[in-house]
Structure 1
Amino acid sequence: MTPVSSHSPHGQSPLRTVQVLGGGNAGSSAHVRSLTSGLVARGVRVTVCAPVEADRAYDFTGAGAEHVHVPRSSDPGSVAALRQACTNADLVHAHGLHASFRAVLALSGRRTPLIVTWHDRAHAEGARAQFLRVLERRVVKAATVVLGTTSALVDRARRTGARDARLAAVTLTGPRPATEEDPDRLRPKVRAELGATGRPLLMAVGSLDRHRGYDLLLDATRAWRRLDPVPLVVIAGEGPMRAELQRRIEDEGLPVRLVGRRDDVGELLAGADLALLPSSGESRDVLAQEALHARVPLVAVHAGGIPELVGDAAELVPAGDAEAFAEAVVRLLGDPARQESLREKGARQVATWPTEDETVAQVLSVYDELTQPRPLI
C-alpha cells in the first residue's frame, strides 16, 4: 500500500484536521475514536469537536486528540465555538447529518475543505422529515466530498446533489466485550442474570425509537409463545418508546424484557442464541456487525445497508413482515446445523470488512487529495 502524507500542502507542518461529531450515534462516535487513534499515530494533528459527554464515553483525548466541547444544538453559540475550533484547520471532517450542518454553518465564507461521512440515514416523520431533506441538500452541496458507509447512502448523496460521493471504508465499530473472561464461562452467568436459564435468549440492541422496528418485533414474539421452552427476548436500549413498549409487553403477556441502556452489550451478546435486527432503515448497524464478529446467528430485515454488510451470513426477511420474521426465528432455533453454518459464514464475512488500517489509509488518501497543491495549467 502506498504511504500517504500527513503533512500540510507545503510540507512545513503536520496536517491539522477537525473531526465534528453530534455525539448521539454510537457507531459514528466509535468510528471517530478509531480514526483519531490512527491519524494521530501517523503524525496528523486532530481536534475533535463534540459534546463533553462524548469525550467521556469515547476518550478522544486519550487517543491523542484535542477535544473542544461543542453542544449538539445548531444555535449561534455552538456554531461560533465550532468556527473558532476550525480556524487554521487544513480540512474539516464531519460525521452525521446534524454535525455536518453545523460544520457547513461554521465554515461559511471560508475555503476550508469539508468532508462529510454519512454513517446512517437520519429518521423522522411528517414536517421534520421534510426539514431533514432540506438539511441533506444543504450539506451535500456544500461538502467537498461525501463518504457514505453503504452504496445506498452514496447513491442518496448523489441524487441529493453531491459533487463527489464515494463509498467509505469503515471498520467494525461497536461494543466489544469489556472482559477477557472465557465466553463459555461468561455465557451461563449472562443468561442467569437476564432470566434466560434453560430457555433460548434472543438479543436486540438499539435506541427505543419508532424507526428501529420494535413494533414488528413485539408482533413477532406472539408466535414464539407456543414454543417450549418459550424464548426470552431482551432489548438493550433507551428512548421515547419505552413506556409504550412496556405497556404492550405487560398487556399482551409477551416474553420480552427491556433492560435499558447497557455498557456491556458485547457481553450480553456473548450469552445470546440469536441476535435480532427488526429495523428496516439501518445502514451499518452496530448489532449486525457485533453479532457476526461474536459468531451469534442473526435474523434481520432485508433493507437499507444490511444485505451489503452481512452478505449471506444472516437470515434476511422482507421489511414490515412480522410473520416472516417470526417464522425465520422459529426455523433457526430448531436448526442447529443452520446456526453453525451462519456462524462460519459470519466469520468469513467479517474477514472481508475493512481493517482499521485500511479505513485510516482511505481517509488519509482523501485528505491528501484535498490538501495537496494542484499544478498550474
Structure 2
Amino acid sequence: MSLATSPSPYGRTPLHAVQVLGGGSAGSSTHVRSLASGLAARGVRVTVCAPAEAERLYAFSGVGAQHVSVPRSAEPACLAALRLTCADADVVHAHGLHAGLRAALALSGRRTPLVVTWHIRGHAEGARARLLRVLERRVAKAASVVLGTSSDLVDRARRHGARDARLAAIALPAPRKAVDRDDPDLRRPKLRAELGAVDRPLLMAVGALEHHRGYDVLLDACRALRHYDPVPLLVIAGEGPLRAEIGRRIEAEDLPVRLLGRRDDVRELLTAADLALVPSRWESRSVLAQEALHARVPLVATAVGGMRELVGDAAELVPYGDADALAAAVVRLLDDPVRQERLKDRGEQQAATWPTEDDTVTQVLSVYDELTQMWPFGQA
C-alpha cells in the first residue's frame, strides 16, 4: 500500500492538503518535502504545486505526494492552473510570501482555508520595501492562519493584520543521503586537505551570495584575521548575484577566502570546519546554525531575528555589521579550546530541545483539523 493511499484517520475521503511553493528556497523546499512525507504517511492526500525544477531537486512525488508543475508567476495562466489544482482542496498551505499571494488570488471567492508559513523575512529598500510591506499585509490578512518560523515573524504578521499568527514547529529534516562516517578521523583531514586548510584553522559560511547575508562584513572580518597566526581560511558554500563582486574583492585584497559555489555536501564539509559563521542581517531558523550545533562545530553568528531564540547560549553572538566584533569572537574561540568544548556541549543540549519532524507534522495536522472543522471538507 502506498503512502498516498494509506487509510485516512478521518473515517472518510482523505483530507486533501495542497502545498504551494514559490521559487522554492532550499529551506522551504526541504521543509515541504518533509511535511509532505509526514502528512502522506498519516493518510492525508498531498499535492505540491511547485516549479518543475523544484520537483527535480526535491522529489516530492517520491514521498507520497502528487506534484503539479506551476511556475512561480502571478500571470493569469499560472493562477488558473493553481486555482484548478486547489478546486477540491480541503486546505491550502502556502510557503513564503509570494506563494501566499498567489494562493490567496487563486482562492479568491472560495471559502477554502489558507495557511501561510513565513519562512524568512523579505529584504528590500526604497520603493521595493514599500511594495514588500503591502505584500506582507495582503498575505497576512488573507491567511486563515500564519505560521512564523520565529517569534519576530509572528509579531510582524500580527502587526500586518493577521487574524491568527502562531510560532511554527519547524524541524531540521534528516539528510536525504547518508553521509559517509565510516572513519571520521580519516575523513576530516582528507576534506581539510581538499579545501586547502591542512595547517590552519578552517572557517565555514553557507548561503546565497546576496546582500542581506552580510558577506561584506564577513570579508572585512577576514581582512582583520590576516594578522592571526596561522591565518584562518574561510570557505563559503553558495551561489548568487554577488559572486563576481565578492570574487573581485577577494582577489584585490588577497583575502584568505575560497568560494565553493553551490554544494550538496554541506553537512559533510561542516564536519571538517573549526568554526561555523553566520554574519546575516536577519535569520529565522538558520540551517547552518542548526547543522553546526548538531555536528558539534562552534558557531559565531549575528544576534538578529530568531537567532538567539534558536541557539540560546550555545553560540557566540555578535551585533550585525560589526566586523571587529565578528573577528574578535573568532579569535577568542580559536584561542580557547575549553570554550569551544563548552559550546559544543551546549549545542548538543540546545539541539535536543528543537522540534522533530514528527512535531512539525503534528502541529500542522492540528491546524488543518481546526480549520476544516470550521469549513467542512469540499465546501467552496
The TM-score normalised by the length of structure 1 is 0.95
- 2:104 is matched with 104
2:219 partner SS: helix
- 1:236 is matched with 237
Higher mean C-alpha displacement, 366-375 vs 185-194: 366-375
Cα offset for 1:178? 4.1
Matched, 1:186 2:187: yes
- 1:62 is matched with 62
Matches within 5 A, 1:59-208: 59-173=59-173, 178-181=178-181, 182-208=183-209
Deviations 1:273-331 (A, max 9, x none): 00000002111111111111111100000111110000111000012111000000011
Matched, 1:34 2:34: yes
Give the total of aligned pairs. Answer: 369
Q: Give, in whole Å, the separation in 1 of the partners of 2:323 and 2:249.
A: 16
Q: Give, in whole Å, the separation in 1 of the partners of 2:35 and 2:217.
A: 35
Cα offset for 1:166? 0.5
- 2:257 is matched with 256
Q: Give, in whole Å, the separation in 2 of the partners of 1:249 and 1:337.
A: 32
Tell me how large the CA RMSD over aligned residues is.
1.6
- 1:12 is matched with 12
Matched, 1:50 2:45: no
Paired AA for residue 65 in structure 2: A
Q: Give, in whole Å, the separation in 1 of the partners of 2:267 and 2:177.
A: 4
Paired AA for residue 277 in structure 1: V
Paired AA for residue 335 in structure 2: G
Paired AA for residue 154 in structure 1: V
Residue identity (%): 73
Cα offset for 1:373? 5.2
- 1:220 is matched with 221
Q: Give, in whole Å, the separation in 1 of the partners of 2:53 and 2:174.
A: 17
**Is the contact between residue 186 and residue 270 of structure 1 (CA under 8 Å) also seen in structure 2?**
no
Q: Give, in whole Å, the separation in 1 of the partners of 2:177 and 2:66.
A: 27
- 1:371 is matched with 372
1:12 partner SS: coil
Cα offset for 1:185? 2.3
- 2:279 is matched with 278
Q: Give, in whole Å, the separation in 2 of the partners of 1:160 and 1:106.
A: 21
Paired AA for residue 14 in structure 2: P
**Is the contact between residue 111 and residue 375 of structure 2 (CA under 8 Å) also seen in structure 1?**
no
The TM-score normalised by the length of structure 2 is 0.94
Q: Give, in whole Å, the separation in 1 of the partners of 2:24 and 2:341.
A: 35
* Cα 1:305–1:50 shift into 2, 3 Å: same
* Cα 1:325–1:157 shift into 2, 3 Å: same
Cα offset for 1:179? 2.1
* Cα 1:132–1:7 shift into 2, 3 Å: farther
Q: Give, in whole Å, the separation in 1 of the partners of 2:185 and 2:333.
A: 21
2:263 partner SS: coil
* Cα 1:127–1:237 shift into 2, 3 Å: same
Cα offset for 1:183? 2.5
Q: Give, in whole Å, the separation in 1 of the partners of 2:316 and 2:85.
A: 46
* Cα 1:12–1:222 shift into 2, 3 Å: same
Higher mean C-alpha displacement, 181-190 vs 126-135: 181-190
Q: Give, in whole Å, the separation in 2 of the partners of 1:116 and 1:136.
A: 11
**Is the contact between residue 178 and residue 267 of structure 1 (CA under 8 Å) also seen in structure 2?**
no
Q: Give, in whole Å, the separation in 1 of the partners of 2:50 and 2:30.
A: 13
Cα offset for 1:334? 0.8
**Is the contact between residue 300 and residue 317 of structure 2 (CA under 8 Å) also seen in structure 1?**
yes
Deviations 1:334-368 (A, max 9, x none): 11111111110000001000111111101100000
Q: Give, in whole Å, the separation in 1 of the partners of 2:66 and 2:285.
A: 27
Q: Give, in whole Å, the separation in 1 of the partners of 2:373 and 2:9.
A: 9
Paired AA for residue 259 in structure 1: L
**Is the contact between residue 116 and residue 145 of structure 2 (CA under 8 Å) also seen in structure 1?**
yes
Cα offset for 1:176? 7.1
- 1:290 is matched with 291
Q: Give, in whole Å, the separation in 2 of the partners of 1:176 and 1:151.
A: 29
Cα offset for 1:162? 0.2
**Is the contact between residue 30 and residue 174 of structure 1 (CA under 8 Å) also seen in structure 2?**
no
Cα offset for 1:223? 1.5
Paired AA for residue 218 in structure 1: L
Deviations 1:12-65 (A, max 9, x none): 211000000113311111111111111001000000001111111111100000
Cα offset for 1:374? 7.9
Q: Give, in whole Å, the separation in 1 of the partners of 2:105 and 2:324.
A: 46
